[in-house]
Amino acid sequence: MSTNTTPYIGENSPLNQITTYFNALQSSAEEYLFVVDLDSKMILLSDNFMKDFDFPSNIVDDLDNLMMPFIYHDDREIFEEAMRDIWTADKGETVQCDFRLLRSNGDYGWVNLKMTIGGDEFSDQPEILSGVIKRLDEVAKADYVTGLLRRSVFYSDLTKELENQNAHGAVIVIALDNFNVITENYGHKFGDSAFRQIAQNITNVLPPDIHLYKLDGYSFGLFMPDAMPEEIEIIFASVQLCMREIRNVEDTIYCTASAGAALYPNDANDVTTLVRYAEVALEIAHQKGRDQIAFFEKEAYDRWRYDIGMQNLMQNCIARGCEDFFLCYQPQVDAKDGRLLGAEALLRWYDNDGSVVAPMQFIPMLEKSRMIIPVGHWIIENAVIMAKKWQHYMPDFQMSINISLYQLEERMFYPFVEDCIARHQIDPSTIIFELTESHNIYDWDFVNKQFAAFHDLGIKIAIDDFGSGYANIGFLKNFKCDLIKIDRMFVENLHESEFNRNLLKYSIMLCHSVGMEVLIEGVETEEEYLYLRDECKVDQIQGFYFGYPEMEDVFEKRFKK
């Protein structure tokens, strides 16, 4: 069997270099094989692949489109998603998916597509993508270790079940936790026999007409027509008991099971979605600490998908220099006379549909993924540029910038700030760093040292959201800062009671007594303003009463009045 070497692949293409191996491999493989040169996007197909699907040549340039008509319509999205994922994968990463592919007899059969990105051993640059498409219905129907039916049979049996009108029930996946530790410690032979025993025990606790199927790795699948969540929980409790029994075989074994369940038709009514949802639920059971069952929840899943999507978009946005982020500026005024003192820079993000997303929806994600570090640099750079510009109209204009704790932890943060101040030749005493509220400051000593260093540089320090979280009065005595920002919540409940009014008044007195200035956030009405000014003697105010966060050009009009 030989591969046509057509002129399409360049001499230096990695495809040329591997042709010999590829030919040797394909002559002994039943699977469909393909290799993609990521540089030229040329794709080399195995002969059986070309012939079975009547593709025009062994070398093609758009496999996605060529294959699409042969893929079962409900599964096309799965295939497209896998293709999208592999294009953005790094070297060494694998992406796989199952879908139904047209067979020569006109039926659709389940296949598994597995793709891996490879490349030169000397560079991280991905060069080549190799793919294998395996027909699941042609591999042995039963697993040789457990004797259980395999995934392809699970899929086809479940497909039949779902063809019944009014079918309702549950799809469940069960995975053994830490089982690989057992094979690691006791060897594969013991592992296999323990696994067989577990499979047998689980089968025994299932109702007689329910089959257990073997899925990938140490996991099982099953579906239970007409089952209610309560029944499923009871059955899972029995599975947990089985796991304890296996400990009797060898008393040092500690192995538990987790499970995920999705309900049909409520969650979905097609095989692939149901199995995927059950796997999502399994992942949740894992996250909650294993040894438990979780049910698929559409709302949480959609939120998670949204976050993942947003994370992806933000990653791209950062790579393009943060171009979809922008800053709004909210005025901060002198409480005595309402005179403008400066602004707080507040981050916004344009979603890909052009809508503006508020920071509470993405800052936690930026922090968790540490993307706040590059974005934080961008925020400081731009806020400093704007402050410098506006100091042209108002030399003592102050700019408040929110700083996340994760930024403080980064080694390059201080030198970056120092350099930014020098480059823009801005007076550091016009810059205020606000430490954004966070519950997890463990190392106050470190935070204090960081702030002291910025203080020495001349930058002012503000404690944000005072009174809403970690920050309380007791903590003021060992924290060096210039300004306390009292949270909006205190203003919101001013009218509720005399106690609230006194609490605010005395908190402000206390801050003043230790030499700190106080800014109140969230002032929305004249009544609130007058109370704060006359009774509380607060120093600065920020709130809708004096101005909303505004775009740069809108804010700038304040100087030109």
Contact segment (CB under 6 A) with ligand C2E among 272-280, 293-301, 340-348, 412-420 equals 340-348
Q: Considering the rule CB under 5 A, would residue 332 count as an interface residue with Ca ion?
A: no
Return the number of the residue (194 or 333) whose C-beta is nearest Ca ion: 333
Which residues are within 8 A (CB) of 166 and not within 5 positions of it... i.e. 6 or more apart? none
> Site residues for Ca ion, window 423-442 (CB under 5 A)?
434
Q: Please say whether the beta carbons of 244 and 237 come within 8 A.
A: no
Q: Which of Ca ion, ligand C2E, none does 404 bind, CB closer than 5 to 8 A by kind?
A: ligand C2E
Instruction: Give min distance, CB of 487 to Ca ion, in A.
Output: 6
Work out the angle between the directed axes of helices 229-249 and 179-205 (0-180°, nearest 10): 120
**In this chain, which stretch among 71-79, 82-90, 255-263, 463-471 interacts with Ca ion, using CB under 5 A?**
463-471
Segment near Ca ion (CB under 5 A); pick from 67-75, 204-212, 255-263, 514-522 = 514-522
d(C-alpha 251, C-alpha 245), whole Å: 10
3-state secondary structure 428-446: HHHEEEEECCCCCCCCHHH
Secondary structure class of 40 (helix, strand, coil): coil
In the complex with ligand C2E, the residue whose CB is nearer, 75 or 521, is 521
Contacting residue, 464, 511, 543, 549, with Ca ion by CB under 5 A: 464
Which span (21-29, 116-124, 282-290, 460-468) binds Ca ion, by CB under 5 A? 460-468
Residue 109 interacts with which of ligand C2E, Ca ion, none, CB < 5 to 8 Å by class:
none
431 is a site residue for ligand C2E (CB under 6 A): no
- Tokens standing for 125? 């640059």
Among 31, 98, 324, 464, binds ligand C2E (CB under 6 A): 464
∠ Cα 440 443 448 (to 5°): 110
CB of 99 within 8 A of CB of 72?
Answer: yes
Contacts of 507 (CB under 8 A, 6+ apart): 467, 473, 486, 490
Closer residue to ligand C2E (CB): 126 or 549: 549
Specify burial of residue 374 (Cβ count, 10 A radius: 0-12, 13-18, 19+). Answer: middle
403 binds Ca ion (CB under 5 A): no
Q: Please state the closest distance from residue 327 (CB atom) to Ca ion, in A.
A: 13
Evaluated on CA atoms 407, 408, 409, 413, the torsion sign reads: positive
Q: Which is nearer to Ca ion, 9 or 463 (CB)?
A: 463
Tell me the backbone φ, ψ of residue 85, rounded to 5 degrees. Answer: -60, -40
Query: Contact 342/400 with Cβ under 8 angstroms?
Result: yes
Q: Which of 14, 131, 260, 543 binds ligand C2E (CB under 6 A)?
A: 543
**Candidate list 501, 522, 525, 550; residue touching ligand C2E; CB under 6 A:** 522
Based on the shown chain and the rule CB under 6 A, indicate whether residue 335 belongs to the binding site for ligand C2E: no
Q: How far is the CB of 486 from ligand C2E (least distance, A)?
A: 10
Report the site for ligand C2E in 373-402 (rule: CB under 6 A). 379, 402
Give min distance, CB of 407 to ligand C2E, in A.
Answer: 7
* Residue 540 contacts Ca ion per CB under 5 A: no
Per-residue mark of binding to Ca ion, 270-309 (x: CB under 5 A): ----------------------------------------
Contact status, residue 144 vs residue 154, Cβ threshold 8 Å = no
Question: Coil, helix or strand for 408?
Answer: helix
Cβ proximity to ligand C2E: between 279 and 465 the closer is 465
Instruction: Report in angstroms the alpha-carbon separations of 39 from 95, 186, 365, 404.
Output: 19, 46, 33, 40
Binding residues with ligand C2E: total (CB under 6 A): 23
Contact 90, 117 (CB under 8 A): yes
Strand ranges (DSSP E) for 56-183? 59-60, 94-102, 108-118, 128-135, 149-150, 169-177
Nearer to Ca ion (CB atom), residue 3 or residue 402: 402
> Taking the alpha carbons of 364, 370, 376, 378 in that order, is the dihedral positive or negative?
negative
Task: Work out what residue 145 binds among Ca ion, ligand C2E, none; the CB cut-off runs from 5 to 8 Å by kind.
Answer: none
- 36 touching ligand C2E, by CB under 6 A: no
Residue 191 structure tokens: 């592992």
Under the binding rule (CB under 6 A), the answer on residue 488 touching ligand C2E is yes
Q: How far is the CB of 328 from ligand C2E (least distance, A)?
A: 7
Q: Does 109 bind ligand C2E (CB under 6 A)?
A: no
Q: Is residue 524 a contact residue for ligand C2E (CB under 6 A)? A: yes
Task: Report yes or no: 98 and 155 within 8 Å, Cβ to Cβ.
Answer: yes
**Nearest distance in Å: CB 273, ligand C2E:** 35
Does 544 contact ligand C2E by CB under 6 A?
Answer: yes
Residue from 424, 423, 481, 426 nearest 451 by CA = 481
Phi, psi of 54 (to 5 degrees): 60, 40
Applying CB under 6 A, the residues found at the interface with ligand C2E are 330, 345-347, 358-360, 363, 379, 402, 404, 436, 464-465, 488, 521-524, 542-544, 549
Return residues touching Ca ion (CB under 5 A): 402, 434, 464-465, 521
